[in-house]
């Protein structure tokens, strides 16, 4: 497998995320209730993309090899590790 298209797609996705973030941050502060629902719907779209498209496609490419699922799990655990140890991003109580 050649990695150039994957890196290109990742860069395009990153740029799209940055542009979307600039649209939100350029406006005055949104109503926190509205912002809560926008964040929830964005998270739902990302989860749907992962579970309905990305994981099945990776299983298809690897001929149902369990390595694809192990890499998904490793990525999830890496994010959890970074978020809870390196970045230390915690929320205590209600916000």
Asked if the model's pLDDT at residue 95 lies above 60, the reply is no
Distance of CA 6 to the CA centre of its chain: 15
CA-to-CA distance for 43 and 40, rounded, in angstroms?
Answer: 5
Domain range summary for the chain, segments of one domain joined by +:
4-86
pLDDT value of residue 28: 75
pLDDT value of residue 66: 85
Asked if the model's pLDDT at residue 90 lies above 70, the reply is no
Asked if the model's pLDDT at residue 77 lies above 60, the reply is yes
Asked if the model's pLDDT at residue 87 lies above 80, the reply is no
Answer yes or no: are the C-beta atoms of 40 and 50 closer than 8 Å: no
What is the model's pTM?
Answer: 0.58
């Amino acid at each position: 497998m050649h990695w150039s298209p994957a890196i290109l797609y990742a860069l395009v996705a990153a740029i799209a995320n940055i542009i979307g973030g600039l649209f939100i941050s350029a406006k005055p502060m949104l109503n926190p209730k509205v912002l809560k629902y926008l964040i929830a719907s964005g998270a739902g779209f990302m989860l749907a993309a992962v579970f309905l498209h990305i994981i099945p496609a990776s299983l298809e490419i690897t001929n149902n090899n369990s390595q694809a699922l192990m890499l998904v799990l490793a990525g999830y655990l890496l994010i959890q590790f970074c978020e809870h140890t390196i970045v230390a991003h915690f929320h205590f109580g209600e916000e």
